[in-house]
Amino acid sequence: MCNAPARRASGKAHFHRSGGFLNRGPLGQMTTPASLLDADVPRPVLDVIARLRELGHAAYLVGGCVRDTLRGFHPKDFDVATSALPEEVQRAFRKVIPTGIQHGTVTVLSGGTHVEVTTFRSESEYHDGRRPSAVTFEQDIVKDLSRRDFTINAMAWNPLGHELVDPFGGQDDLKARVVRCVGSAIERFSEDGLRPLRAVRFAAVLDFTLDSGTQAAIPATLPVFRKVAHERVREEFVKLLLSKREAFGLELLAVTGLLDVFLPELARAEAEAARLARAAASAAPADVEIRLAALLADLVDSQRAEEIGVRLKFPTKTIERVRLLITHAALERHVGEPDPALRRLLSKVGLAHIEALTAVARARIQVREPARLPEMEALIGRLHALAAAKPPLTSKDLALNGGAIMATLGVGPSPIVGDATRFLLEQVLEEPSLNAAEKLKELLRSWSRARGS
């Protein structure tokens, strides 16, 4: 049935919410949306679909790429679903990588790109709210679409035959800008605890609302959400954090109870503090570390921020950067400080992080004390000017290296070398023009004499 041609003499055939066909006469014709007809599907993807169809299999574009094309956006990737079994897909192409063969996914190398091809499947018996205990391969695209999370993600498009399969009213929900579960929200959220978070994430990313039944099912299924692996939570959370309706998404996470499960520091914050945190994160550029720091800087200290990062299994690099940004986020306290103090700040933060730090500081002040924005901008301007002068900021920048320091002091490797290096760095941060070998040697000798006496 899924292969029935969409174009018929009397009009077009469409699946309806019930799962059946809806034949429209000439008066009530539903036309294939122009965005699909004009879709710029990459040639290698079309080739894969054509090959599978040539062999007698059903093959469609599915999921996010259909949704995004219908919305008029170019998808970031094109996923293919097919009735062909994984072995059949492997046999159909010369170069394949069995990426997730047990789940039915094979990566086909076509025209220099990777095309993910997944066999139609249904998932049954979720035992732990995390992963289906059994995957069954199917011949019917509608079965495959029924296991998908939201109606807007449960459409399939055959770009060769111009056939749109939309059994659950995905197009209507796209038009209404609504995220709605396929089938019973309680059941779908009980099968896979990640779905409620995905629902909120899609609402934030797409600037949609949650269907009321879908939203209402979230509190009841929170025990299932609690069991979801932190990595999966983090992945969705990051997408939400980087979305254009990030503050709205965070609010939705809070009212549905999801936030309390993985970020109680924000969920339990006092209402105004939480609002400011959300606003600061939204005001910051869409970068994970910057947004996380802007969100957390005024809620928790850097130690707690680190714990949050570890809990959500962020990469160590991210955790360290967020920690650093939070430590120095209250940049306004440096307003009016003399140049040497600002150079010390540059030295502590490191030039690589200054751009990010100023972004966090700017976002915070913008929502907390907008009247102080001009002085913050002036401070940021001074920091940039100081950095542009390329002053010595680390021991590596000193005109004397470790060997020269030892020779000057007449000592071998010992703790005194570290003390001497810190002393010299302190001197050049105060006065960069001192960073010349002879001057540093002289300073070192008097430092040593003073220490000796």
Structure-token pair, residue 411: 């000592």
- Cβ-based nearer residue to ligand ATP, 152 or 326: 152
Structure-token pair, residue 406: 């030892």
- Cβ-based nearer residue to ligand ATP, 93 or 150: 150
Measured from each CB, the residue nearest to ligand ATP is 64
Is residue 334 a contact partner of residue 379, using CB atoms and an 8 Å limit? yes
End-to-end CA distance of the chain: 96
CB of 16 to ligand ATP, least distance (A): 19
Is residue 167 a contact partner of residue 142, using CB atoms and an 8 Å limit? yes
Q: Please report whether residue 99 would count as binding Mg ion according to CB under 5 A.
A: no
Which option in Mg ion, ligand ATP, none does residue 194 bind, with CB closer than 5 to 8 A by kind? ligand ATP
User: What is the full DSSP assignment across 134-177?
Assistant: EEEE-S-HHHHHHTSSBGGG--EEETTTTEEE-TT-HHHHHHHT
Which option in ligand ATP, Mg ion, none does residue 195 bind, with CB closer than 5 to 8 A by kind? ligand ATP
- Cβ-based nearer residue to Mg ion, 276 or 288: 288
CA distance 279 to 256: 19
CB of 236 to Mg ion, least distance (A): 12
Scan residues 40-69 and list those touching Mg ion (CB under 5 A): 64
> Parallel, antiparallel, or unpaired for β 105-110 and 178-179?
unpaired
- Cβ-based nearer residue to Mg ion, 64 or 183: 64
Is residue 294 a contact partner of residue 364, using CB atoms and an 8 Å limit? yes
CB of 1 to ligand ATP, least distance (A): 20
- Cβ-based nearer residue to ligand ATP, 149 or 163: 149
Provide the mask over 3-32, with x wherever binding to Mg ion is found by CB under 5 A and - wherever it is not.
Answer: ------------------------------
- Cβ-based nearer residue to ligand ATP, 33 or 64: 64
CB of 149 to ligand ATP, least distance (A): 4
Tell me which H or E stretch contains 179.
strand 178-179
Is residue 203 a contact partner of residue 218, using CB atoms and an 8 Å limit? no
CB of 192 to ligand ATP, least distance (A): 5
- CA-based nearest residue to 281, from 327, 237, 316, 233: 237
CB of 268 to ligand ATP, least distance (A): 27
CB of 87 to ligand ATP, least distance (A): 22
User: What is the full DSSP assignment across 72-100?
Assistant: T---S--EEEESS-HHHHHHH-SSEEEEE
CB of 175 to ligand ATP, least distance (A): 18
Measured from each CB, the residue nearest to Mg ion is 64
Return the axis-axis angle of helices 351-368 and 316-328, rounded to nearest 10°.
60
Q: Is 110 left (phi over 0), alpha (psi -120 to 50) or beta?
A: beta
Quick check: helix, strand or coil at residue 152? helix
What are the angstrom distances between the C-alpha of 189 and each of 121, 147, 222, 325, 337? 19, 12, 9, 36, 54
- Cβ-based nearer residue to ligand ATP, 194 or 300: 194
- Cβ-based nearer residue to ligand ATP, 194 or 400: 194
Total residues in contact with Mg ion, by rule CB under 5 A: 1
Which option in ligand ATP, Mg ion, none does residue 246 bind, with CB closer than 5 to 8 A by kind? none
11 strand-pairing partners: 8
Which option in Mg ion, ligand ATP, none does residue 61 bind, with CB closer than 5 to 8 A by kind? none
Which option in ligand ATP, Mg ion, none does residue 148 bind, with CB closer than 5 to 8 A by kind? ligand ATP
418 strand-pairing partners: none
CB of 240 to Mg ion, least distance (A): 15
22 φ, ψ to 5°? Answer: -120, 110
What residues make contact with ligand ATP under the rule CB under 6 A? 63-64, 148-149, 153-154, 192, 194-195, 198
- Cβ-based nearer residue to Mg ion, 81 or 359: 81
* Site of interaction with Mg ion (CB under 5 A): 64
